Protein backbone atom coordinates (compact mmCIF):
# COMPACT_ATOMS: atom_id res chain seq x y z
CA UNK A 1 0.00 0.00 0.00
CA UNK A 2 1.32 3.46 -0.85
CA UNK A 3 1.20 5.54 2.27
CA UNK A 4 1.47 9.30 1.88
CA UNK A 5 4.45 11.04 3.46
CA UNK A 6 2.43 12.27 6.41
CA UNK A 7 4.64 11.93 9.44
CA UNK A 8 4.33 11.95 13.15
CA UNK A 9 5.58 15.20 14.68
CA UNK A 10 9.09 13.87 15.35
CA UNK A 11 9.50 12.71 11.76
CA UNK A 12 8.60 16.13 10.64
CA UNK A 13 8.65 17.84 7.26
CA UNK A 14 5.32 18.29 5.54
CA UNK A 15 5.05 16.80 2.04
CA UNK A 16 2.28 17.04 -0.50
CA UNK A 17 3.70 14.45 -2.88
CA UNK A 18 3.09 10.76 -3.21
CA UNK A 19 6.56 9.43 -2.40
CA UNK A 20 5.85 6.42 -0.16
CA UNK A 21 6.66 6.95 3.49
CA UNK A 22 9.53 4.73 4.59
CA UNK A 23 9.82 4.26 8.36
CA UNK A 24 13.33 4.52 9.83
CA UNK A 25 14.97 1.41 11.23
CA UNK A 26 14.71 0.97 14.99
CA UNK A 27 18.20 2.35 15.74
CA UNK A 28 17.53 5.49 13.69
CA UNK A 29 14.09 5.94 15.24
CA UNK A 30 15.71 5.77 18.71
CA UNK A 31 17.96 8.69 17.76
CA UNK A 32 15.05 10.67 16.28
CA UNK A 33 13.12 10.35 19.53
CA UNK A 34 16.18 11.07 21.68
CA UNK A 35 17.23 14.16 19.71
CA UNK A 36 13.80 15.71 19.39
CA UNK A 37 14.89 19.01 20.90
CA UNK A 38 18.51 19.06 19.69
CA UNK A 39 19.71 22.45 18.46
CA UNK A 40 23.01 22.54 16.60
CA UNK A 41 24.55 24.30 13.62
CA UNK A 42 26.62 21.57 11.98
CA UNK A 43 25.31 18.02 12.19
CA UNK A 44 26.63 14.88 10.54
CA UNK A 45 24.53 11.70 10.28
CA UNK A 46 24.83 8.30 8.69
CA UNK A 47 21.83 6.13 7.79
CA UNK A 48 20.89 2.61 6.74
CA UNK A 49 17.69 3.99 5.28
CA UNK A 50 16.55 7.22 3.66
CA UNK A 51 18.34 9.58 6.04
CA UNK A 52 15.23 9.91 8.20
CA UNK A 53 17.23 11.23 11.17
CA UNK A 54 19.09 13.79 9.03
CA UNK A 55 15.80 14.87 7.42
CA UNK A 56 14.17 15.28 10.82
CA UNK A 57 17.11 17.27 12.25
CA UNK A 58 17.22 19.49 9.13
CA UNK A 59 13.53 20.31 9.57
CA UNK A 60 13.96 21.07 13.28
CA UNK A 61 17.11 23.18 12.80
CA UNK A 62 16.16 25.45 9.89
CA UNK A 63 19.29 27.02 8.41
CA UNK A 64 21.58 24.44 10.02
CA UNK A 65 24.15 22.49 8.03
CA UNK A 66 22.83 18.91 8.27
CA UNK A 67 24.76 16.37 6.25
CA UNK A 68 23.93 12.70 5.64
CA UNK A 69 26.77 10.50 4.45
CA UNK A 70 26.69 7.24 2.47
CA UNK A 71 29.49 5.15 0.99
CA UNK A 72 27.21 4.02 -1.84
CA UNK A 73 25.87 6.51 -4.37
CA UNK A 74 22.78 4.34 -4.97
CA UNK A 75 21.61 4.85 -1.37
CA UNK A 76 22.67 8.50 -1.43
CA UNK A 77 20.50 9.02 -4.52
CA UNK A 78 17.53 7.32 -2.86
CA UNK A 79 17.93 9.58 0.19
CA UNK A 80 18.22 12.71 -1.94
CA UNK A 81 15.09 11.77 -3.87
CA UNK A 82 13.21 11.06 -0.64
CA UNK A 83 13.85 14.56 0.70
CA UNK A 84 13.55 16.59 -2.54
CA UNK A 85 10.23 18.12 -1.59
CA UNK A 86 11.24 19.02 1.97
CA UNK A 87 11.52 22.71 2.89
CA UNK A 88 14.75 22.02 4.77
CA UNK A 89 16.44 18.97 3.27
CA UNK A 90 19.73 17.53 4.50
CA UNK A 91 22.77 17.69 2.25
CA UNK A 92 23.39 14.16 0.99
CA UNK A 93 26.94 13.09 0.17
CA UNK A 94 28.57 9.89 -1.07
CA UNK A 95 32.29 9.42 -0.51
CA UNK A 96 34.88 6.92 0.74
CA UNK A 97 35.13 8.77 4.07
CA UNK A 98 32.99 11.05 6.19
CA UNK A 99 33.20 14.70 5.03
CA UNK A 100 36.54 16.08 6.17
CA UNK A 101 35.34 19.08 8.17
CA UNK A 102 34.27 19.98 11.69
CA UNK A 103 30.82 19.20 13.13
CA UNK A 104 29.08 20.15 16.39
CA UNK A 105 27.15 16.89 16.57
CA UNK A 106 27.59 13.50 14.86
CA UNK A 107 24.94 10.75 14.92
CA UNK A 108 25.51 7.11 13.98
CA UNK A 109 22.69 4.56 14.02
CA UNK A 110 24.15 1.05 14.44
CA UNK A 111 22.44 -2.20 13.49
CA UNK A 112 23.41 -5.02 15.83
CA UNK A 113 24.04 -7.34 12.88
CA UNK A 114 25.79 -4.78 10.69
CA UNK A 115 29.41 -4.69 9.57
CA UNK A 116 31.32 -4.34 12.88
CA UNK A 117 34.56 -3.15 11.34
CA UNK A 118 32.85 -0.53 9.18
CA UNK A 119 30.95 0.73 12.24
CA UNK A 120 34.17 1.07 14.24
CA UNK A 121 35.89 2.81 11.36
CA UNK A 122 33.02 5.31 10.89
CA UNK A 123 32.72 5.89 14.66
CA UNK A 124 36.42 6.70 14.89
CA UNK A 125 36.20 9.08 11.91
CA UNK A 126 33.03 10.69 13.25
CA UNK A 127 34.65 11.32 16.64
CA UNK A 128 37.67 12.91 14.98
CA UNK A 129 35.39 15.21 12.96
CA UNK A 130 33.80 16.61 16.15
CA UNK A 131 34.72 20.06 17.41
CA UNK A 132 36.07 20.33 20.98
CA UNK A 133 33.04 19.79 23.31
CA UNK A 134 31.00 18.44 20.38
CA UNK A 135 28.75 15.42 21.02
CA UNK A 136 28.62 12.06 19.33
CA UNK A 137 25.39 10.03 19.57
CA UNK A 138 25.15 6.35 18.62
CA UNK A 139 22.13 4.07 19.01
CA UNK A 140 21.78 0.33 18.57
CA UNK A 141 18.66 -1.79 18.08
CA UNK A 142 19.52 -4.21 20.89
CA UNK A 143 18.44 -3.55 24.52
CA UNK A 144 21.08 -6.02 25.76
CA UNK A 145 23.92 -4.34 23.89
CA UNK A 146 27.41 -4.41 25.33
CA UNK A 147 29.42 -4.25 22.06
CA UNK A 148 28.56 -0.68 21.10
CA UNK A 149 29.12 0.41 24.69
CA UNK A 150 32.68 -0.97 24.51
CA UNK A 151 33.29 0.79 21.21
CA UNK A 152 32.11 4.10 22.68
CA UNK A 153 34.50 3.56 25.61
CA UNK A 154 37.44 3.24 23.20
CA UNK A 155 36.67 6.82 22.10
CA UNK A 156 36.08 8.38 25.51
CA UNK A 157 36.06 7.00 29.05
CA UNK A 158 32.89 8.91 30.01
CA UNK A 159 29.96 7.44 28.09
CA UNK A 160 26.31 8.30 28.80
CA UNK A 161 24.01 5.30 28.38
CA UNK A 162 20.24 5.64 27.90
CA UNK A 163 18.53 2.23 27.80
CA UNK A 164 15.19 1.93 25.96
CA UNK A 165 12.79 -0.92 25.32
CA UNK A 166 14.00 -1.38 21.72
CA UNK A 167 17.69 -0.56 22.11
CA UNK A 168 20.26 1.73 23.72
CA UNK A 169 21.40 5.28 22.99
CA UNK A 170 24.95 6.31 23.88
CA UNK A 171 26.67 9.67 23.80
CA UNK A 172 30.13 11.08 24.48
CA UNK A 173 31.38 14.64 24.58
CA UNK A 174 34.76 15.16 22.90
CA UNK A 175 37.30 16.65 25.23
CA UNK A 176 40.45 15.72 23.28
CA UNK A 177 41.37 14.16 19.93
CA UNK A 178 42.10 10.42 19.95
CA UNK A 179 45.67 9.67 20.98
CA UNK A 180 45.89 6.64 18.75
CA UNK A 181 43.89 6.08 15.56
CA UNK A 182 43.28 2.53 14.44
CA UNK A 183 44.05 1.71 10.81
CA UNK A 184 41.32 -0.48 9.29
CA UNK A 185 42.98 -0.97 5.87
CA UNK A 186 44.04 -4.53 5.01
CA UNK A 187 46.42 -5.95 2.40
CA UNK A 188 46.50 -9.57 1.25
CA UNK A 189 48.44 -11.44 -1.46
CA UNK A 190 46.90 -13.12 -4.51
CA UNK A 191 48.83 -14.95 -7.24
CA UNK A 192 47.23 -14.69 -10.68
CA UNK A 193 48.87 -15.77 -13.97
CA UNK A 194 52.15 -16.11 -12.06
CA UNK A 195 51.92 -12.47 -10.99
CA UNK A 196 52.00 -11.76 -7.29
CA UNK A 197 49.37 -9.16 -6.52
CA UNK A 198 48.95 -7.34 -3.25
CA UNK A 199 45.35 -6.21 -2.85
CA UNK A 200 44.21 -3.54 -0.44
CA UNK A 201 40.69 -3.28 0.98
CA UNK A 202 38.84 -1.18 3.54
CA UNK A 203 35.78 -1.93 5.68
CA UNK A 204 32.59 -1.52 3.65
CA UNK A 205 34.24 -2.86 0.47
CA UNK A 206 33.06 -6.30 -0.58
CA UNK A 207 35.13 -9.12 0.94
CA UNK A 208 37.33 -6.90 3.09
CA UNK A 209 40.61 -8.63 4.10
CA UNK A 210 40.31 -11.52 1.60
CA UNK A 211 39.65 -12.35 -2.02
CA UNK A 212 36.10 -13.61 -2.49
CA UNK A 213 35.94 -17.22 -3.72
CA UNK A 214 33.39 -16.18 -6.36
CA UNK A 215 35.75 -13.47 -7.65
CA UNK A 216 38.54 -16.07 -7.84
CA UNK A 217 36.26 -18.50 -9.75
CA UNK A 218 35.47 -15.73 -12.26
CA UNK A 219 39.15 -14.75 -12.60
CA UNK A 220 40.04 -18.36 -13.44
CA UNK A 221 37.14 -18.86 -15.86
CA UNK A 222 37.15 -15.56 -17.75
CA UNK A 223 38.13 -15.74 -21.40
CA UNK A 224 40.08 -12.53 -21.90
CA UNK A 225 41.82 -12.22 -25.27
CA UNK A 226 44.38 -9.69 -26.48
CA UNK A 227 42.92 -6.39 -27.65
CA UNK A 228 39.52 -6.84 -25.95
CA UNK A 229 37.47 -4.08 -24.33
CA UNK A 230 36.34 -5.41 -20.98
CA UNK A 231 33.82 -4.04 -18.47
CA UNK A 232 34.13 -5.10 -14.79
CA UNK A 233 30.76 -4.16 -13.36
CA UNK A 234 30.55 -3.94 -9.55
CA UNK A 235 34.36 -4.07 -9.36
CA UNK A 236 34.72 -4.11 -5.54
CA UNK A 237 38.44 -3.82 -4.76
CA UNK A 238 39.23 -4.25 -8.48
CA UNK A 239 40.63 -7.81 -8.39
CA UNK A 240 38.73 -9.04 -11.48
CA UNK A 241 39.40 -5.91 -13.57
CA UNK A 242 43.09 -5.90 -12.65
CA UNK A 243 43.33 -9.60 -13.54
CA UNK A 244 41.73 -8.79 -16.91
CA UNK A 245 44.36 -6.11 -17.61
CA UNK A 246 47.26 -8.46 -16.88
CA UNK A 247 45.65 -11.21 -18.98
CA UNK A 248 46.18 -9.19 -22.19
CA UNK A 249 49.10 -7.32 -23.70
CA UNK A 250 46.78 -4.88 -25.41
CA UNK A 251 43.18 -4.06 -24.67
CA UNK A 252 41.32 -1.88 -22.21
CA UNK A 253 39.28 -2.40 -19.04
CA UNK A 254 36.58 -0.20 -17.54
CA UNK A 255 35.79 -0.89 -13.87
CA UNK A 256 32.72 0.61 -12.20
CA UNK A 257 31.10 0.43 -8.77
CA UNK A 258 28.46 2.37 -6.85
CA UNK A 259 30.52 2.29 -3.63
CA UNK A 260 32.97 5.18 -3.32
CA UNK A 261 35.34 3.09 -1.15
CA UNK A 262 35.35 0.30 -3.72
CA UNK A 263 36.35 2.79 -6.41
CA UNK A 264 39.04 4.21 -4.10
CA UNK A 265 40.43 0.70 -3.39
CA UNK A 266 40.39 -0.22 -7.08
CA UNK A 267 42.40 2.92 -7.90
CA UNK A 268 44.83 2.11 -5.08
CA UNK A 269 45.22 -1.50 -6.26
CA UNK A 270 45.92 -0.35 -9.81
CA UNK A 271 48.67 1.88 -8.46
CA UNK A 272 50.05 -0.92 -6.25
CA UNK A 273 49.96 -3.74 -8.78
CA UNK A 274 50.06 -2.58 -12.40
CA UNK A 275 52.95 -1.30 -14.48
CA UNK A 276 52.71 2.21 -15.92
CA UNK A 277 51.71 0.79 -19.30
CA UNK A 278 49.03 -1.39 -17.70
CA UNK A 279 47.72 1.53 -15.68
CA UNK A 280 47.00 3.35 -18.95
CA UNK A 281 44.73 0.49 -19.98
CA UNK A 282 42.23 0.64 -17.13
CA UNK A 283 39.76 3.34 -16.15
CA UNK A 284 37.62 3.38 -13.00
CA UNK A 285 34.58 5.35 -12.01
CA UNK A 286 31.69 5.46 -9.60
CA UNK A 287 28.18 4.93 -10.92
CA UNK A 288 25.08 3.15 -9.65
CA UNK A 289 22.91 3.50 -12.75
CA UNK A 290 24.95 1.41 -15.17
CA UNK A 291 24.84 4.35 -17.58
CA UNK A 292 28.03 4.42 -19.62
CA UNK A 293 29.05 6.43 -22.65
CA UNK A 294 30.40 3.27 -24.25
CA UNK A 295 27.22 1.68 -25.65
CA UNK A 296 27.74 -1.39 -27.80
CA UNK A 297 31.52 -1.26 -27.41
CA UNK A 298 32.57 -4.02 -25.01
CA UNK A 299 33.70 -7.52 -26.01
CA UNK A 300 33.35 -8.91 -22.50
CA UNK A 301 31.39 -7.90 -19.40
CA UNK A 302 32.41 -9.54 -16.08
CA UNK A 303 30.20 -9.55 -12.99
CA UNK A 304 29.96 -11.07 -9.53
CA UNK A 305 26.58 -9.54 -8.63
CA UNK A 306 25.40 -9.18 -5.03
CA UNK A 307 22.72 -11.57 -3.75
CA UNK A 308 20.67 -9.06 -1.75
CA UNK A 309 17.98 -6.75 -3.16
CA UNK A 310 15.93 -9.55 -4.70
CA UNK A 311 18.14 -9.69 -7.84
CA UNK A 312 17.40 -6.05 -8.74
CA UNK A 313 21.15 -5.29 -8.89
CA UNK A 314 21.83 -8.47 -10.86
CA UNK A 315 19.13 -7.30 -13.29
CA UNK A 316 20.75 -3.86 -13.53
CA UNK A 317 24.13 -5.50 -14.27
CA UNK A 318 22.60 -7.71 -16.97
CA UNK A 319 20.70 -4.83 -18.57
CA UNK A 320 23.93 -2.80 -18.57
CA UNK A 321 25.75 -5.69 -20.26
CA UNK A 322 23.00 -5.93 -22.86
CA UNK A 323 23.35 -2.23 -23.74
CA UNK A 324 27.12 -1.98 -23.64
CA UNK A 325 28.18 -5.24 -25.30
CA UNK A 326 29.07 -5.45 -28.98
CA UNK A 327 27.27 -7.87 -31.25
CA UNK A 328 28.62 -11.33 -30.31
CA UNK A 329 30.09 -9.85 -27.12
CA UNK A 330 29.88 -11.96 -23.97
CA UNK A 331 28.67 -11.54 -20.43
CA UNK A 332 30.26 -13.78 -17.78
CA UNK A 333 28.59 -13.95 -14.38
CA UNK A 334 29.66 -15.89 -11.30
CA UNK A 335 27.00 -16.95 -8.82
CA UNK A 336 26.02 -19.52 -6.22
CA UNK A 337 22.37 -19.13 -7.26
CA UNK A 338 22.21 -19.88 -10.99
CA UNK A 339 18.46 -20.68 -11.00
CA UNK A 340 17.34 -17.04 -11.31
CA UNK A 341 19.82 -16.45 -14.16
CA UNK A 342 18.61 -19.58 -15.94
CA UNK A 343 15.16 -17.99 -16.07
CA UNK A 344 16.08 -14.37 -16.74
CA UNK A 345 19.07 -14.48 -19.10
CA UNK A 346 17.47 -16.36 -22.03
CA UNK A 347 14.88 -13.54 -22.23
CA UNK A 348 17.71 -11.09 -22.95
CA UNK A 349 20.52 -13.07 -24.59
CA UNK A 350 20.41 -15.58 -27.41
CA UNK A 351 22.97 -18.09 -26.21
CA UNK A 352 23.30 -18.91 -22.52
CA UNK A 353 25.72 -21.52 -21.18
CA UNK A 354 25.89 -22.51 -17.52
CA UNK A 355 28.88 -24.31 -16.04
CA UNK A 356 27.96 -25.76 -12.64
CA UNK A 357 31.05 -27.93 -12.25
CA UNK A 358 32.52 -26.00 -9.29
CA UNK A 359 31.03 -24.58 -6.07
CA UNK A 360 30.18 -21.48 -8.09
CA UNK A 361 28.27 -21.50 -11.37
CA UNK A 362 29.83 -19.57 -14.25
CA UNK A 363 27.24 -18.32 -16.69
CA UNK A 364 28.24 -17.15 -20.14
CA UNK A 365 25.68 -15.31 -22.24
CA UNK A 366 26.38 -14.17 -25.80
CA UNK A 367 24.88 -11.04 -27.33
Q: Which residues bind ligand SAM (CB under 6 A)?
A: 74, 206-207, 212, 214-215, 234-236, 239-240, 256-259, 262, 288, 304, 306, 313, 316
The beta-strand segments (E) located in 40-79 are 42-46, 65-70
**Taking Cα atoms as reference points, which of 45, 32, 11 lies closest to residue 135?**
45
* Surface-to-core class of residue 267, CB atoms within 10 Å of its CB (0-12 exposed, 13-18 middle, 19+ buried): middle
Cα 261 to Cα 256: distance, rounded to the nearest angstrom: 12
Query: Minimal distance in Å, beta carbon 10 to ligand SAM?
Result: 32
**Taking Cα atoms as reference points, which of 271, 270, 261, 265 lies closest to residue 125?**
261
Query: Minimal distance in Å, beta carbon 127 to ligand SAM?
Result: 26
Inter-helix orientation angle 338-348/312-324, to 10°: 40
Complex with ligand SAM: residue 49 or 236, whichever CB lies closer: 236
Cβ count near 307 (within 10 Å): 13
Complex with ligand SAM: residue 23 or 306, whichever CB lies closer: 306
Complex with ligand SAM: residue 31 or 263, whichever CB lies closer: 263
Give whole-number Cα distances, 173 to 1, 78, 164, 251, in Å: 42, 32, 21, 54
Query: Minimal distance in Å, beta carbon 26 to ligand SAM?
Result: 25
Complex with ligand SAM: residue 24 or 236, whichever CB lies closer: 236
Complex with ligand SAM: residue 142 or 207, whichever CB lies closer: 207
**Taking Cα atoms as reference points, which of 149, 206, 151 lies closest to residue 182?**
151
Query: Minimal distance in Å, beta carbon 28 to ligand SAM?
Result: 22
Query: Minimal distance in Å, beta carbon 322 to ligand SAM?
Result: 15
Query: Minimal distance in Å, beta carbon 74 to ligand SAM?
Result: 5
Complex with ligand SAM: residue 301 or 345, whichever CB lies closer: 301
Amino acid sequence: MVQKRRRRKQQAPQFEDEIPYIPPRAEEQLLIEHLMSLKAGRILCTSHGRGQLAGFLASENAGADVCCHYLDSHYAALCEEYWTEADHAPTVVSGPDLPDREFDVVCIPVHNQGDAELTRDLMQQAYQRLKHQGTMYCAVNSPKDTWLHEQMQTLHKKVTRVPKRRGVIYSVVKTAPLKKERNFHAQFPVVFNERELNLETRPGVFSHRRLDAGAWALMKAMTVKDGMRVLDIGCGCGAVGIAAVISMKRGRVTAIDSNARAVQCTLRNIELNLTEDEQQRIEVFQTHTGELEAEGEFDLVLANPPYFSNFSIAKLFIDTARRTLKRHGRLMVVTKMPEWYEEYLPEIFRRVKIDKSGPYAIITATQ
